[in-house]
Amino acid sequence: MAPRSTDPATLLEQARAGDRGALARLLTLVERGGPQSREVGRLVSPRGGAAHVVGITGAPGAGKSTLTSALIAHLRARGETVAVLAIDPSSPYTGGAILGDRVRMQDHATDEGVFIRSMATRGHLGGLSLATSEAIRVLDAAGRPWIVVETVGVGQVEVEIVGKADTTVVVVNPGWGDAVQANKAGLMEIADVFVINKADRKGTEETRRDLEQMLDLSDLAHDAWRPPVVQAVATEQKGVDELWSTVLQHREFISASGELQRRREFRLGEELREIVARRLEQRARAVLGDGRWDTLQADVLAHRVDPWSAADEMLGPVQG
């Protein structure tokens, strides 16, 4: 066997032909950051926009991984291919490895039509959030039509990351207060679809009522999408067909209304803003670690120059 390429253009070509190993290596380049990551970014940027991104979030233990696994099975039974990004901001663990509670997804690991990847930050300048955006573009450019982004929890970073999806699925469980918790965690604002998973347990109806009540109270425009509430038992593959058809309805709705385009443009604008901020941070670090710093500081200490003039000498005049 010939040695595998590390050239981004070659890897992308191979990935587009269905090579999961090449796709994995592209994502590793993205995670690492650096010049090759930038090269990947330039290659995939013009090819984006065909994939639909589904975000899945909810409290730990709600059954997100099980639901994701059930969705994979549903899609595969229909001959669709799917890619999954499993995001765990709290874990330094990386490299396409499967986390402990994601073992269930391993069922699909040998399936050529499924690509599963755990994301971590590693060297990426922009952190997990920007790395996820880039990874989504890579999967999109590689021709994966369905991309599921699953997070482990409902912290600020998780909500931010799952907000990169076109359709956001919020998973809750039956039981007093679970809907209220979802509201507190800021999930009402980002949910496009609610799933009450483990809906064979008692309290399902109360939870549905709580959710509907909160939706009644929320300030939805009359022509806006009202998040449907779907019931599921993911371990038994129950309700998964309804979930997926709801996701497809949502996709149809926001495509027709222009909301999909607006969301994507808004996200890309936000991403650009974040990259500029990160670049300036990076520049600050570069300046402060620069050899000129010592000379400059010595001049200031000797009162040969005042600190503001010294700072401007180092940075050049302010733009704009």
Residue 110 binds to its own copies (criterion: CB under 8 A): no
The binding track of 6-45 with respect to its own copies, each residue x by CB under 8 A or -, is --------------------------------x--xx-xx
Query: What is the distance between the alpha carbons of residues 244 and 180, in angstroms, rounded to a whole number?
Result: 25
CB of 93 or CB of 293, closer to its own copies: 293
Q: Do 208 and 229 form a contact (C-beta atoms < 8 A)?
A: yes
Helix spans in the chain (H): 8-16, 20-32, 34-44, 64-77, 127-141, 156-162, 178-184, 187-190, 204-217, 240-257, 259-288, 292-301, 307-315
Q: How many whole angstroms separate alpha carbon 279 and alpha carbon 179?
A: 39
SS3 9: helix
Contact set for its own copies, span 39-98 (CB under 8 A):
41-42, 44-49
CB neighbours of residue 263 within 10 Å: 16
User: What minimum distance in Å lies between the beta carbon of 267 and its own copies?
Assistant: 10
Q: Smallest distance from the beta carbon of 39 to its own copies, in angstroms?
A: 10
Report the residue from 3, 60, 79, 289 that binds its own copies according to the rule CB under 8 A. 289
Whole-number minimum distance, CB 196 to its own copies, in Å? Answer: 37
Q: Which residues of 119-136 are buried (b: 16+ CB within 10 A; e: fewer)?
A: bbbeebebebbbbbbbbb
Q: What residues from 228 to 287 belong to the interface with its own copies (CB under 8 A)?
A: 265, 268-269, 271-273, 275-277, 279-284, 286-287
Q: Which of 34, 123, 127, 307 lies at the binding interface for its own copies (CB under 8 A)?
A: 307
Binding stretches for its own copies (CB under 8 A): 38, 41-42, 44-49, 265, 268-269, 271-273, 275-277, 279-284, 286-290, 296-297, 300-301, 303-312, 314-315, 318-320
